[in-house]
Amino acid sequence: MRNPVIEFSNVGLRYGHGPEILRDLTFKIDPGSFHFLTGPSGSGKTSLLRLLLLSLRPTRGKVSLFGKDVSALDQDSLLQMRRHIGIVFQEFRLLEHLTTFENVALPLRVLGQNESAYRANVTELLDWVGLGERMDALPALLSGGEKQRAAIARAVIGRPDILLADEPTGNVDPELSLRLVRLFAELNKMGTTIILATHELELLEKFDFPHMELRDGQVVFGG
């Protein structure tokens, strides 16, 4: 039996003195799995992803990633762990002054690698996501689908073990949504654990992946 890559135990989250938006979340995610994260707007999908991205700490309970209790980790260890997690946003969040190539290479540049060392990898990945001809274009010149593929490429260039996607198909047409989810599925086949937040129920019907639904601050597994 494999150890879970993500484990929540009685996790609760509130912002300031507000109401608890996530309550008693207890679940495990196996490595190499693919889950859709669903729920109505404001149900806490983004907050759950931020907990997984280590940019928020739970108000109570225990979050473990890769078998480690994240509350016990210092800043450096959190940083090291975050490098094993990729994130894709609905609004892409590409840096507008950098080319597609530079945006995708950013995680490697942050690690101190030279361009000569990563040029081949980045070019190969851009070819794989269909942006080989657009690598010198600035984000402003890319279509919505191209931007999202660039954002996905940036999220996976560092070969993360977990890939989180927050409404990645929210700004693209239905056909492109399907193509993007197929791209995530391809990445999942390579062993990446994927949690994809979406409110598009059609996607859940078209792909045979389990889903976890946030309802009243609690998670319900289905699919």
Partner 1 sequence: MVDLKLPQRNRSTPIVPERSVAGRTLVLLIAIMTFLSGVTLGGVVLVQKSAIAWSSDVGREVTIQIRPVEGEVMESNLRTAVALAEQTPGVESARALTMEESVRLLEPWLGSGLDLGAIEIPRLVVVQLGDPAEADIPKLERDLAAVKGATLDTHAAWRQQLNVMAGTIVISGLLVLTLIVVATVLAIIFATRGTMASNREIVDVLHFIGASNSFIAGEFQGRFLSIGFRGGIFGGLAAILFFVFVAFAVSGVLPNEASQQLGVIFGRFSLGFDGILGIAAVVPVIAALTAITSRLTVRRFLSQAS
Using CB under 8 A as the binding rule, whether residue 216 contacts partner 1 is answered as no
Binding mask 119-158 for partner 1 (x = CB under 8 A): xx--x-----------xx-----------------x---x
| Sign of the CA dihedral running 44, 45, 46, 47 | positive
Nearest to 34 by CA among 199, 183, 201: 183
The verdict on 75 binding partner 1 (CB under 8 A) reads yes
Q: Does 106 bind partner 1 (CB under 8 A)?
A: yes
**Would you say 56 or 178 has its CB closer to partner 1?**
56
Phi, psi of 16 (to 5 degrees): 60, -130
CA distances from 220 to 50, 52, 162, 210, 216 (A): 19, 17, 21, 11, 10
Name the 3-class secondary structure at 154: helix
Q: Is 87 in the site for partner 1 (CB under 8 A)?
A: yes
Tell whether residue 159 is a contact of partner 1 (CB under 8 A).
no
Give the binding range for partner 1 (CB under 8 A) out of 6-14, 80-88, 201-209, 212-220: 80-88
Spatial separation of the C-alpha atoms in residues 67 and 70, rounded to whole Å: 9
Residue 153: in which H helix or E strand, if any? Answer: helix 144-156
> Residue 25 phi/psi, 5° resolution?
-75, 125
Write the DSSP symbol of residue 4. P
Nearer to partner 1, 44 or 158 (CB): 158
Contact between 100 and partner 1 (CB under 8 A)? no
Near partner 1 by CB under 8 A: residue from 79, 141, 201, 220: 79
Q: Pick from 26, 55, 59, 143 the residue near partner 1 by CB under 8 A.
A: 55
Task: Give the residues lining the site for partner 1 (CB under 8 A).
Answer: 53, 55, 75-76, 79, 82-83, 87, 93, 95, 97-99, 101-102, 106-107, 109-111, 115, 119-120, 123, 135-136, 154, 158
